[in-house]
Amino acid sequence: MFGDYSIGDLGSIFVMQGFAGLILFSVYVLMALGLAIIFGQMGVINMAHGEFMILGAYVTWMTSNFFQSYLPSLFSGYFFLAMILAFLASGALGMLMEWVLIRNLYKRPLDTLLATWGLSLILQQAYRSIFGAREVGVELPQWMLGSLHVSDSIEVPINGVFVMGLTVLITIGVAYIMYRSRWGRQVRAVVQNRIMAGAVGINTAKVDRYTFALGCGIAGVAGSAFTMIGSTGPTSGQLYIVDTFLVVVFGGAASLLGTIASAFSISQTQSTLEFFMSGSMAKVLTLLAVVGILMLRPQGLFALKVRK
Amino acid sequence: MNENRFINRSELIGILVLAVFLVVVLPLCLDVFRLNLVAKYLTYAFVALGLVICWGYGGILSLGQGVFFGLGGYCMAMFLKLEASSVENTKIQSTPGIPDFMDWNQITALPLFWKPFHSLTFAVLAVMLVPGIFAFIIGAAMFKRRVGGTYFAIITQAVAAILTILIVGQQGYTGGINGMTDLRTLKGWDIRPDHAKVVLYFFEVGLLFLCIFIAYFIRRSKLGRILVAMRDQEDRVRFSGYSVANFKIFAFCVAAVFAAIGGGMFALNVGFMSPSFVGIVPSIEMVIYTAVGGRLSILGAVYGTILVNFAKTSLSESFPELWLFGLGGLFIAVVLAFPNGLAGIWGDYVQPRISKLIGARKPKSGWTDNSVADGAPAE
């Protein structure tokens, strides 16, 4: 399998595939961060997570259209505003859903799965009715197109670098919120023992609502970032959901570090395998490996040591 | 309640009502096309029955029942496909005698794992054994290591994704995204004309009642009671000396075999099998049928399946836009307001009134076991 390539070629291939894997890694981390908060911290199975991402993508698409028609001079910077809007839109919808739906189901985690699946069906049809069934693509500003030439045989697309930078920023932000801020401590207290946290004066209902909203908001930003890489349709969200859950579960549900580590290992495995076989077989092998490891180590890579 | 028999009187009446409905009312009221649609719905009822045992009683939510439905369906479809690809039927191909999709994908000889499917006996056994063994492997690997609840649900979902990608990717061996189409005869008996559809329908109803009796038997036996106990207080059952994992594996395997029988009947009734019945979306829809019918009610699962599918067909015919809204809304409503589904509404509201009207003695709740009648199961 290696015979046809020289050492230099192989090196470039691995660098390029490694880089493609890094972009995939960023995508996985962005998708999984929101879910790691909602599923890992709160224990809610949010099957509509993909649809919250798609909401962010549609918000980005609308912002880009708005700038193109009314503010063409500022078009190169629309993306930053779009991401904020995506965060707010998905977060607001998440907050509403928590209030209507999720707060009734904290004691029945498996039922959250069913209810949010119903929610995801409704959202999909809503997108189809509002935006049409066709996939939409966002026009990128000039500076995001093209690629950096690192050497003769190695090229790196700029939008990929941008997504990676964004991922790093958001990850640091989430880590700060969850592990350093006062509010993050409240979240973790509520997760560990809801009744006790309420007894010491934490408004658990409020903490729940904002945690859920934060997770959904990050999903919106992730969806916004995806528009730079691919197009968006009403059912795109469903494509991501299994991968995302696997990333979170593989990493160990309650650990942010685990989420990042598992996203890294899954994405690198997949992109390296993709070079040597068809994309679908690479995906099958990667998923099989993940499921296999999960059978050996059900609590995931980085499990918190908690007595149950 | 008479503990000696596995079905008490009100349950027997329920089964009779369902039998009259399926065997007499529907065939008299519907034309063959609609009857065939009902036959298609009923193939999902097998899956729903399995889910009642595994999810309702055992507390194991599997989001991968499509895997077993699909494996069963594919085993049956492989036999039918081989019969449809006889040398004279496929003489225009570059290699006659192999299924058409293999020919399109430049495969010139029948793959080894296809060869035993020339035999109907083998195929029928495979319909039940392949998914059963597969379920045993997954179940043993997961439950022995005490993976349960949400983690199990997500992993079964991943298995469904893996199998779908595999089937779609390996076009030459499985027919890819189109699946196995153009299935014609069963041992020389044409399965396509109307009278064959009717015969297959009655055969399927018979199988369904067999599965219903098995389900009642499991529920009423000691094994069923251990399952329920395990769902509610797993640790206590474990401390009492029972091997919790083995009971879970059993429930999961039963559900898988039921689903596979449904899949096999699907291939016969509908005349094709494709990966679109294997993946995550159909698997979750199958859970929906069970939830709507009532996850604790064996008969409720059958009614739920028929009702949701009927609604799906009629709504998507007349209001394609509204169908997903309706399904999503129904699902949220069931989860929030009626965790025990239609059977719960029947048992809690309708049946007591009827009993009052006809002045019967205080009803024993016939829709579910007394031990589990007190609301939603703990998870």
| Contact check, Cβ <8 Å, B321/A290 | no
Nearest residue to A290 (alpha-carbon basis) of B158, B375, B276: B158
Which residues are bridge partners to A147 per DSSP?
A157
Judge contact between A48 and A98, C-beta under 8 A. Answer: no
- Structure tokens of A32? 């999984």
Interface residue of A51, A114, A128, A287 to substitute, partner B, most B CBs within 10 Å: A114
Judge contact between B374 and A103, C-beta under 8 A. Answer: no
Q: How far apart are CA A235 and CA A82, in angstroms?
A: 21
Indicate the pLDDT class of residue A9, thresholds 50, 70 and 90.
Answer: confident
How much is the pLDDT for B374?
Answer: 40
Q: For chain A, give the percent of residues with pLDDT over 90.
A: 15
More confident residue, A179 or A93: A93
Q: How far apart are CA B307 and CA B292, in angstroms?
A: 9
| Contact check, Cβ <8 Å, A113/B155 | no
Highest average pLDDT, of A14-18, A289-293, B197-201, B323-327, comes from B197-201
Judge contact between B327 and B287, C-beta under 8 A. Answer: no
How much is the pLDDT for B125?
Answer: 92
Interface residue of A47, A104, A113 to substitute, partner B, most B CBs within 10 Å: A113
pLDDT tens by residue, A95-112: 999 998 888 888 887 888
How many cross-chain Cβ pairs, A to B, lie less than 8 Å apart?
Answer: 125
CA end-to-end distance (rounded Å), chain A = 48
Distance from the Cα of B325 to chain A's closest Cα (Å) equals 5
The residues of chain B scoring below 50 in pLDDT are 1-2, 363, 366, 369-379
pLDDT exceeds 80 at position A121: yes
How much is the pLDDT for B324?
Answer: 81
Q: Which residues of B touch A114 (CB under 8 A)?
A: 287-288, 291, 331, 334-335
Among the residues of chain B, which ranges form H helices?
Answer: 9-20, 26-29, 32-51, 65-84, 100-104, 120-143, 149-169, 171-174, 194-220, 222-232, 234-239, 244-270, 280-293, 298-318, 320-337, 341-345, 351-357
- The SS3 of residue A138 is coil
Q: Give one word for A248, left, alpha or beta, with left for phi > 0 and alpha for psi -120 to 50.
A: alpha
Q: How far apart are CA B191 and CA A129, in angstroms?
A: 40
Judge contact between B15 and B299, C-beta under 8 A. Answer: yes
| Contact check, Cβ <8 Å, B327/A121 | yes
User: Average pLDDT of A21-38?
Assistant: 86
pLDDT tens by residue, A185-200: 888 888 888 888 889 8
How much is the pLDDT for B328?
Answer: 86
Indicate the pLDDT class of residue A3, thresholds 50, 70 and 90.
Answer: low
Nearest residue to B283 (alpha-carbon basis) of A242, A305, A229, A142: A242
Q: Which residues of A touch B165 (CB under 8 A)?
A: 280, 283-284, 287
Q: How far apart are CA B341 and CA B297, in angstroms?
A: 9
Question: Angle at CA B49, nearest 5°, toward A101 and A123?
Answer: 30
Structure-token match 């068809």, residue found: A278
Rounded to the nearest 10 degrees, the angle between the axes of helix A204-226 and helix A7-35 is 150
Q: For chain A, give the percent of residues with pLDDT over 70.
A: 94
Interface residue of A111, A121, A280, A285 to substitute, partner B, most B CBs within 10 Å: A121
Distance from the Cα of B327 to chain A's closest Cα (Å) equals 7
How much is the pLDDT for B379?
Answer: 38
Judge contact between B122 and B80, C-beta under 8 A. Answer: no
pLDDT tens by residue, A30-52: 888 888 888 877 888 888 999 99
Nearest residue to B113 (alpha-carbon basis) of B61, B57, B74, B159: B74
Structure-token match 């006889």, residue found: B86
Question: How many CB atoms neighbour CB B193 within 10 A?
Answer: 9
Angstrom CA distances, A140 to A145, A156, A159, A170, stand at 7, 17, 9, 21
Indicate the pLDDT class of residue A305, thresholds 50, 70 and 90.
Answer: low
- Indicate the average pLDDT of chain A: 84
CA atoms B304, B124, B27, B12: torsion sign: negative
Judge contact between B255 and B54, C-beta under 8 A. Answer: yes
| Contact check, Cβ <8 Å, B162/A298 | no
pLDDT exceeds 60 at position A154: yes
Residue B287 at interface with chain A, using a CB cutoff of 8 Å: yes
